[in-house]
Structure 1
Amino acid sequence: MTIAYLPGPPDDVPLYEPWAGEPEVLAEAAEAGRRAAAWIRSLPAPPAPRPVGTWLAVALPGAVESATGSLDPAQCDRMGPDGRLIEGNGGMDAGTASTLAIVPCVLSDVDWLTPDQHLRLMAVASVVTGIARLLADDPGTAILHGQVTRMCATLDHATRPDHPGLASEFEQEI
């Protein structure tokens, strides 16, 4: 294997230049994350205090806000100086990723919520993780082609306010 180095010191090459529209897309994602966190906080508390209730009221919405508020396309997959791939994280730290990853496992303990709320919580964790992964894998495509914007729309749909008295179109058809 041959390794060729570019001429000049590494300081001559800019490490990252923002994409057109990047600040607006990141602001949109942060706002969608704040709305999602507010929805999670609005979910009913358990009938009796328990640790999973605190996790749902504090840790999960905090992770959603942290992940969407710290998105960073500069933290994308890249080659290191030694030629090895450095896997990016899109700006989401490992602790936040871990909190979002355990959502499907924790839902069995959140038995006071409805199956619809369980599904929507899984959607939130998946979408937020997906936005960071999109930015890590290919930030240009994710930003310029509206993928992050579409993911934010999905996040908003999953966290729309609950309307307990209204049946969904699907339930009305049955």
Structure 2
Amino acid sequence: MTLSHLPAPAGPSDDVSYEMWEGQTAVLAAARAAGRRAAAWVRSLPAPPLPAPVGDWLSGELPDAIETAMSGLDPQERDHMAPDGRVVDGTGGVDAATISILAAVPVVLPEAGWLAPDQQARLLAVTSAVTGAVCLIAQDPGTAILHGLLTRLCAVLDHAARPAGVAVL
């Protein structure tokens, strides 16, 4: 089998212009707002009856990570091909430490026994929607923005992070 590599682009990789997608600014602003609402909901969850590291994490690090991820979405940080032909995974504008905090929720959640099952399920939905938003922006920002995929994930995020007592439709 013979592999043929494509030639490297003529100039440095940073000389490629970036054009915003139609509606990008509004969609990303809505995502930031949804992230702030979700973070506020996580911060409003009840504290553990006795001080616990998980309780501090749930009221501090986790909501900060949610807000950071949703406000840091960057379509320019998408999957791409390096000049040498390597595929470079995009970050969606969110650093690995923030993603690591979000990914820890399913592992840490069993230690948050003071939360009601509904709160735990909604917390999983919130972090799943946030990590999904990052993946969408990293893998295919044009489709995510132009076809409403990010907007739909933000609707899921808002639904999961609804205030206590708000009816489910």
TM-score for the superposition, normalised by structure 1:
0.90
CA distance in 1: counterparts of 2:14 and 2:45, whole angstroms: 51
Taking a change above 3 Å as real, the CA distance of residues 108 and 2 of structure 1, as seen in their structure-2 partners, is closer
After TM superposition, the structure 1 = structure 2 runs for residues 36-115 of structure 1, keeping only pairs within 5 Å, are: 36-115=38-117
What is residue 3 of structure 1 aligned with on the other side?
A: 6
Does the 8 Å CA contact 2:91/2:134 hold for their aligned counterparts?
yes
Q: CA deviation at 1:30?
A: 0.4
* 1:89 CA displacement: 1.2
Superimposed CA distance per residue, residues 128-168 of structure 1 (whole angstroms, 9 cap, x where no aligned partner): 0000100111110000000000100000000111119x7x6
How many residue pairs match? The answer is 166
Amino acid in the other structure paired with 1:59: E
Aligned partners of 2:8 and 2:85 also within 8 Å = no
Q: 1:162 is matched with which residue?
A: 164
What code does the residue aligned with 1:158 have?
A: A
Superposed CA deviations along residues 84-132 of structure 1, whole A, max 9, x for unmatched, are 0000011111010000001011111000000000000000110000001
Contact 2:79 2:87 in 1 (8 A): yes
Q: CA deviation at 1:51?
A: 0.5
Distance 2:17 2:78 in 1: 11
Classify 1:61/1:13 alpha carbon distance in 2 versus 1 (closer, same or farther; 3 Å): same
The residue identity in structure 1 corresponding to 2:88 is I
User: In the alignment, residue 3 of structure 1 is paired with which amino acid?
Assistant: L
Q: Distance in 2 between matches of 1:62 and 1:11?
A: 33
State the identity as a percent: 55
Specify every segment of 5 or more residues in structure 2 that has no aligned partner in the other structure, as ranges.
none
SS, match of residue 92 in structure 2: coil
Q: Which amino acid aligns with 2:165?
A: H
Residue 172 (structure 1) aligns with: none
Q: RMSD between aligned alpha carbons?
A: 1.7
User: How far apart are residue 6 of structure 1 and its match?
Assistant: 3.9
Within 2, Cα distance between the matches of 1:5 and 1:102? 39
Structure-2 change in CA distance of 1:11 and 1:66 (3 Å) = closer
Distance in 2, matches of 1:79 and 1:160, equals: 40
Task: Give the corresponding residue for 1:118.
Answer: 120
How far is the alpha carbon of 1:15 from its aligned partner?
Answer: 4.1
Whether the aligned pair in 1 keeps the contact of 2:9 and 2:83 (CA below 8 Å) is no
